[in-house]
Structure 1
Amino acid sequence: MNTFSTLSLHHTTSTVIACARTASPVVAAFALATLGAQAAHAEGVGAGTLIENTATATYEDGDGSQTVDSNTVVVRVDELLDVTVTSLDSGPIGAVPGEAVLTFEVTNQGNGPEAYSLTANPTVAGNDFDTTVVNIAIDTNGNGTYDAGVDEILTAPETTQVLEADEGLTVFVIVTVPDGVVDGDASDVELTAEALTGTGAPGTVFAGQGVDGGDAIVGTTGADDTAVGSLLVGITSVELTKSVSVVDPFGGTSVVPGSVATFTIVATVSGSGSVDDLIVADAIPEGTTYSDETVTLDGGDLTDASGDDAGEASDASGVSVDLGTVAGGTVHTVTFDVTVD
């Protein structure tokens, strides 16, 4: 903001001397008025606001009470350039090879309207892998979620619309996670916003480039800021191991007509993520007959009927157990019996 000019009182020297001689008190009052009043913003009074200052003196002389005003000094508030960038993700985004979306907010912390250039950097020191930046997009419908075909894709050079003081904008950085990553790999992506008017050390002046032809002054952020979004690979795999044990009619382990074979299927889910709709299924082998109501899950009995629980079984359709969503590091065991014909 411009510095106030020295105020002066316009009156004759003789009048001031007369005032002193009568020993009448002189009271100086300073009134501050704002033209075109604007709300205070993150950086205070809005850029372009005109501030008036007029001094008043009152005194008593031989003619009674007197009042004189100084000239009015008018100054215009310059524009401060400041911005913050923050990650809106609550933590690392789970990722697998393919597309991933990181969410940020860019906020104009200055006191005037400003647009910002955006740059996404996927090659951050310490990354286990580097992504490829596909697009930077703006949250057009304001729902906080990237909607392909709806949210605006910025074209190079990626630049925001003009943001008013204190206005924030949700920005999506769409990246591609490469093949070959392994479970637990991590990667950071940086998003930087820079004021189009200019950046620099706090206090840097861009003469005449502020609101209404005033100056633009770089604020405490340097008129640029960077935030980091993180990706964490969660590759989950499922391994099935099947075994069989046999008891024959004579108490042995021979496979003969009448022997009962118990099949055991172990589903091992590995990784830091989870899988959905995991169903373990097995057909009834030819030459055998399913033994009714013998399906178990983790040692607990299941029914053969559909819809009663996670299990379903019959000679015609075989055995099916719906495990639903299963987190990595989980093991489930399914068993069922058949009789050799």
Structure 2
Amino acid sequence: MQYKNLGRSGLKVSQLSYGAWVTFGNQLDVKEAKNLLQCCRDHGVNFFDNAEVYANGRAEEIMGQAIRELGWKRSDVVISTKIFWGGPGPNDKGLSRKHIIEGTKASLKRLDMEYVDVIYCHRPDVSTPIEETVRAMNYVIDKGWAYYWGTSEWSAQQITEAWAVAHRLDLLGPIVEQPEYNLLSRHKVESEFLPLYSNYGIGLTTWSPLASGVLSGKYSLDSSPPADTRFALDNYKNLANRSLVEDVLRKVEGLRPIAKELDVSLPQLAIAWCASNPNVSSVITGATKVSQIRENMKAIDVIPKLTPIVMEKIEAIVQTKPKRPDSYR
């Protein structure tokens, strides 16, 4: 495993990480979670991602209990969570000072931890002034409840505004953004965010490297989603209908010969492709089985195989590269 700085910070995170989205609380409980987490650690993973909204808080409880029962040394791992959707009440969601502080305390209680290493604003909140959010996130850091803060699915403009507020008030700005990034979703990472990397040292912890499993090659137009996949879950049917379309699945099929030529699996190729971007600090992977983690972790060995020629072959198949603004060339 390789370790990279989280943006311009001194925090080191494993190039591949593990996230609790979908799995913890929805598909897995503590016993299974312990096996998955330990397998990740055995492969050098030190970064584990969560959120208050995952399984309505149950994902944090499961991760916290699993880590506790495994007896891990807290300083050996990097734990993150995200604040935005905390409940049904009018002040249980968003990025107000009230919800950031109360949501953080509630997350720490569920995790049974004194602090998280990174806390994210899970989405932008247009109903709350960014200054209020920046001040609240700094309060959380000053209290020692988190060491760094970041954003998830914010726009470049919103991140720039947050940094402007932080500079004006001599506060800490967000050091990391958590966007979706994969072969089918690239605009933010490869175009919109370009000024942020040099101007603010923003790092990326990207999610959905397999495009919710589409790039794994396990779906086809001719059959229903396999029973043990997320697209078979009732609450993911709408996403399945949007994702499993002919154009996308044909591109996935087109990638198979490239993977075969490199003697790797489609998931390993897709994950390695994400990790090869120098602005990506860590690629968040997901898995419901130990065997999947073992396979995903082999993506680390695939990165050196992604030569310029191979990358051009991949591009010729997916044809998803965003046009870079002339001013950023």
Q: What is the TM-score of this pair, normalised by structure 1?
A: 0.18
Q: Which has the higher strand share?
A: 1
Higher relative contact order (CA 8 A, sep 6+): 2
Q: Which has the larger radius of gyration?
A: 1
